[in-house]
Amino acid sequence: MPTTAELKDICTQIRRDIVRMVHANNSGHPGGSLGCTEFFVALYFKIMQHNSNFNMDGKDEDIFFLSNGHISPVWYATLARSGYFEVAELATFRKINSRLQGHPTNHDHLEGIRVASGSLGQGLSVAIGAALTKKLNNDDKLIYSLHGDGELQEGQIWEALMYASANNIDNLIATIDYNKQQIDGSLDDVLKLGDLKAKIEAFDWHVLEEKEGNNIEAVIRILEKAKSLSGNNKPIAILLHTEMGNGVDYMMGTHKWHGSAPNDEQLESALAQNAETLGDY
């Protein structure tokens, strides 16, 4: 198991990968990707039992679904850095004939991806489906999913929340990237969600909240706690407070880097703030 220092090193490398990927083709979504770096590193390098020798069915291993597919850079970088495919392939992100599409897809058989996402609101239902199949197969491993907070404005999410608790889907841990920003501005300005914890609790989920979503130790702690609560007849949600753009000073605290790429100068600045620890691709 990697130490905390090692996990932090992986985070800075993944942040470098993210900004380089987005810069290289002048498109992509750096803000949410950077904000979720600790979550992805915790999940793939510490929490999940998974096999980088990819198999679609994922029997007897934990499975992760990314519902807010636009933060694909952090997922691709994490998958490559955990051995699913060569890190060199990160250079093809969003380019023609690449397996690393703008939004994640299994269409081109990229190892680690099990379903397409990007059109929002569908991933929680897909995760529930996979969780049901795990139960049918007597497979005691878990399903993890990640959702944007803005994504919760999609009605299908609430259909899924309702279904999961009514059917005791207790092998599912759904995390919400609670950065309170979306493309058009702050979540509260676009369409406020109100007391999100109370709302999800009212749907009879077990809801955990972590204020320090960019602190790797805190993220690991909350995921461990969620894991310990699995198998108790209730689905589990984590409200993970993160900072959009975290790790790159000029990208933090604004929605403006949701879907814009840094220029050459901005890239240099971002790289200077994140040490190259595992070797750039």
Residue among 37 and 165 whose Cβ is closer to other proteins = 165
CB of 167 to other proteins, least distance (A): 8
Report how far residue 243's alpha carbon sits from residue 131's, in angstroms, rounded to the nearest whole number: 29
CB of 203 to other proteins, least distance (A): 13
Residue among 203 and 250 whose Cβ is closer to other proteins = 203
What tokens were used for 161?
Answer: 């929340």
CB of 96 to other proteins, least distance (A): 18
What does the DSSP 8-state code read for residue 85? S
CA dist 8 to 5, 12, 14, 41, Å? 5, 6, 10, 9
CB of 29 to other proteins, least distance (A): 17
Task: Give the binding site for other proteins (CB under 8 A).
Answer: 56-59, 63, 65, 105-107, 114-119, 121-123, 125-134, 136-137, 139, 155-156, 159-160, 162-163, 167
CB of 61 to other proteins, least distance (A): 11
For residues 11 and 41, the answer to whether their CB atoms sit within 8 Å is yes
Residue among 42 and 63 whose Cβ is closer to other proteins = 63
**Residue 59: strand, helix, or coil:** coil
- Sequence-separated contacts (24+) of 215-219 with Cβ below 8 Å: 215/38, 216/4, 216/7, 216/8, 216/11, 216/38, 216/41, 216/42, 217/4, 219/38, 219/39, 219/42
Look at residues 267, 117, 74, 260 and name the one whose alpha carbon lies nearest to residue 183.
Answer: 260
Report how far residue 16's alpha carbon sits from residue 269's, in angstroms, rounded to the nearest whole number: 11
In 108-242, DSSP assigns E strands to 143-148, 172-178, 181-182, 185-186, 206-210, 236-241
CB of 129 to other proteins, least distance (A): 2
Look at residues 178, 168, 146, 158 and name the one whose alpha carbon lies nearest to residue 66.
Answer: 146
CB of 5 to other proteins, least distance (A): 35
Residue among 7 and 128 whose Cβ is closer to other proteins = 128
Look at residues 69, 105, 60, 20 and name the one whose alpha carbon lies nearest to residue 177.
Answer: 69
Residue among 162 and 275 whose Cβ is closer to other proteins = 162
Residue among 157 and 267 whose Cβ is closer to other proteins = 157
Residue among 6 and 159 whose Cβ is closer to other proteins = 159
Look at residues 3, 13, 64 and name the one whose alpha carbon lies nearest to residue 37.
Answer: 13
